[in-house]
Structure formats: C-alpha cells, structure tokens
Amino acid sequence: MNISMNNTCLSYMGRINNSDPAAPVFYYPGSQAELRFTGKSVTIRLKNHNVWGNVSLGYVIDGRMGRIPLDSADNDKEVTLRVVSCLEEGEHTLIIYKRYGANHFYSINGIDIEDGDILPCTHEPSLRIEAYGDSVCAGEMCEAVDFTGRADPENAASIYDNSWYSFVMQTARILGASINNISQGGIAVLDKTGYYHMPDTIGMETVYNKLCHIPEAGELTEWDFSRYIPDIVILALGQNDHHNAVTDTNDVDISDPAYRRKWKDAYMDIIRALSRKYGSSAKYVLTTTLLRHERSWDDAIGEMCDELNAEGIAAFHNIFTRNGDATDGHPRISEHDEMADELVRFIRTHVLSTVN
C-alpha cells in the first residue's frame, strides 16, 4: 500500500517544510514523521542532500532504534530505502527522524507498506515545547560513550551524532510533550561569532525565525510562527559565543561591560520577538549545559532572566548540578540522561505550575 506524505494519519513534529505536502523537507535535528500501521515491511522514497560528514536516516520501530546510511553519491536523487522488514502480525509504530543538524537535509516522497495498512495517528500531546540550542541540544557526539567525561574523538565526521538522545528531546518525551528542536552545532547568539557555517558564521539571531536555516539548501526561508505555539521555550546558548569568527580567535570577553550588554540585548531581542509571537502564556527556560565553559556566561544569563521578568516575560534560569564543569568533550548519552532528569525536575517544580 502506497502512502502519500500528506495522509492525515501521519503525525509530524518539528519545523518541516511542507510547501509541497507530498514531499516534506526535513532540516532540523529531531524533526520526525510517525505512523501507526499493520504490515510486514516499510519502504520509503527519499531524496537526500549530504553537505558533509557520514549521515544516516534515523528510525525507531516499536521502541527499537535503527539507522540507514545515506550515500553522498546519491545526492539529490530519489532512492528507495527499506526501513523495516519481517515484522510480526499486529500493530506497529514507526518514527522516522533526522539524526543531525545542517550537514544534510532530505525530503520523504512516499511510504509503502507491504501487506498492511496505515492506522490513524494517536492524540496530539497537550504540552508543547520549543528548544533553541547548539550542538549539545542537537545530540552531536553523544554516542561516543567510550569518551564520556573526556575530549571528543578526532575525525568523527558525525558518526556519533544522534539527536534522539539530546537532553531537550528526552525532556519532551519524559514530559509527554511535542518539541520543535531549533538547534545547530557551533551556533552562537550573534552572527559573525561561534562556529556555524564557517568562515561566514551564522548566529541564532538569524536562524531563530527560519524554516530553512541551511544555505546549501537554497534561500533561508521564514518560519510561520502560527504553525506551532509552544507552552515552554528552552534556550541553551552561550557555549560557542566566546569565538570571534571575524578573526578566528576565542577572544570574546563577556566580562567586558559593553560586549556583555550587546550580547545580552541580542539574546533578549530573540526572546522578546518570540514573546510577541507566542503571547504572555509562554514560559522561557534559559540554561547552558555540562560542557565546560566559563561561569561568567551563566552569570550574564541570570541577569537576563531578571531583566526579562521585569519586562513581564516569564524567564527561568536553570543551572545543572555539574553545569559547565563536567566534561571537555560533548556530553555523551549518560550525561544527556543526567541533564534531562534535572531539567524535567526543574520544569515540573518551577515552570509547569505557571503554565495556563
């Protein structure tokens, strides 16, 4: 049975380009399509564009995770991929998701179920979360578990990346929420800082309101904020902001009063813009992560929360137990588990009681 991607039984999550409903395009990590079905096997027709690295299609079938390598030799060609096969009789749930950030993008052009049928999607989660972050929120390097608490392995080329384990994605699943994960490795708040899209780096001040944020995919297109109104917005930025991409040095000094004000204003302007889109009921959780960094960035974020609250924007400052001091490398799966557990407790204790 061939399933069109605009079938109402399919459930989507994330900022997905559905300008062609029959061929939705996936850009951001964790963006996914879910289907409930009966049948023996599932194949999909997919058109991928690999920008760099070794990338795979991520999927979860009945709670079991898998991946299918995507060959850069097939760039922009429609290929047919068998996702799962030899399934037992009965109902199954398949989630197809994007494991990575901007190192590739793809469209899914159709799904075929062998000897079965698609079933209506389950209910829409009542709680909605949105996240804006960097490589940690995108789950980069998280599967390098042999390097837990250590620097990253060299020349990994994305083989250890998996957005599924990202602490923000885990937080949403634990809370039973949907999530739009607007995260990108190397990104900082300001353009011309950080590491995303070197040497002409792009900051979250440009990306936050984009549907397509990948220059290699064509024009950076605007997101229609009316498509998704979150209850809680998580922002985890500040890790890459020490890097001055103009001179390619780590010489940004957040303790300098003038720069501190500039950085805080740019960050707060993103939150103010989101608040105008989402209304007064949205709550904002600002955090950094376990990845080692200077505490002065967290101090500046705490100041921002005080200033935003004074303006009537509900901002909460989360600080993990081992915040900024746990590892010189990207957090691995166990460290994402740790952050998710703590963030869930923080949200349940301090934020959910204020959600209308």
- Write the DSSP symbol of residue 238: -
Q: Confirm whether pTM is higher than 0.95.
A: yes
* Chain mean position to CA 58: 14
Strands 178-183 and 128-133: parallel
CATH of region 2-119:
2.60.120.260
Let me know the angle formed at the C-alpha of 107 by 106 and 108, rounded to the nearest 5 degrees: 125
Strands 16-17 and 55-61: unpaired
For domain 128-354, say whether CATH 3.40.50.410 is its number: no
pLDDT of residue 356: 64
Q: What is the crossing angle of helices 257-278 and 295-310, to 10°?
A: 50
For the chain, domain boundaries: 2-119, 128-354
Per-residue pLDDT tens for 108-139?
999 999 999 999 988 789 999 999 999 999 99
| Average pLDDT of the residues in 311-331 | 98
Tell me how far CA of residue 166 lies from CA of 15, 44, 61, 110, 297, in angstroms: 17, 25, 19, 28, 22
Q: What are phi and psi for residue 57, nearest 5 degrees?
A: -85, 130
Q: What percent of the chain has pLDDT over 70?
A: 100
Let me know the angle formed at the C-alpha of 172 by 169 and 176, rounded to the nearest 5 degrees: 140
